[in-house]
Amino acid sequence: MKLGIFGGTFDPVHYGHLILAETAREACQLDEVRFLPAYSPPHKQNQIITTGKQRVEMLEFATAGFPEFVVDQRELKREGTSYTVETLSEMTEQFPEAELHFLMGADSLIDLPNWRQPQRIASLAKIVAVNRENSSHEDLHQVVSNLPDSIQRSVIILEMPPIAISASDLRLRISEKRSIRFLTPRPVERYIQEHGLYRAL
């Protein structure tokens, strides 16, 4: 079994997230992609984050009807700071026969050496790096070349159409009463409206 692991805040989930997941699912022939909303990301300790329950509900709306996409709440249930190495270790025990693929954008790959036990992460899963709207395929190769050899060997580089969508932009648009239509699935858009999310930044 090939299992994709896609961690993040998903505050809110948007089409950029979904296209990245689908690009990796198809290219790496993944049987399943698990979206893992973080309880408390290490790099967002001072940022107010929407409740885990609401982020899970938005993810479930966004992935409904796609059985290969699963919302995994283990980091929310564990609480505390969400460290990727702990999650991958836990998933290795739960799925001992699975080949894990950890999905990330180019911006995260740049920062990977600063994460907790990055070499352990690379030993537990293949690291699937996908270009974002402000990075090219060549940029990604340059980033990889600067990583330690033990991490480089685990990296798979994928390319997807550049999509200029970010969760921070969606939050800003909502706070400014601008449209987010076609940036996130319609059920997520309606959920945000009905719950009054992101109106004040």
Residue ranges covered by each domain of the chain = 2-163
User: Which residues touch 141 (CB under 8 Å, ≥6 apart)?
Assistant: 157
Q: Where residue 46 falls among pLDDT bands split at 50, 70, 90?
A: low
Put residue 198 in one of left, alpha, beta given phi > 0 → left and psi -120 to 50 → alpha: left
- pLDDT 10s digits, 86-114: 999 999 999 999 999 999 988 788 889 99
Taken in order 145, 146, 151, 155, the sign of the CA dihedral is negative
Which residue shows structure tokens 């974002």?
132
With CA atoms as reference, report the closest residue to 23 among 136, 180, 162, 183: 162
Q: How far apart are CA 149 and CA 147, in angstroms?
A: 6
Q: Counting every residue, how long is the chain?
A: 201
- Candidate CATH numbers 3.30.1490.20, 3.40.718.10, 3.30.465.10, 3.40.50.620; the one for domain 2-163: 3.40.50.620
Best mean pLDDT range from 2-16, 96-110, 158-172? 2-16
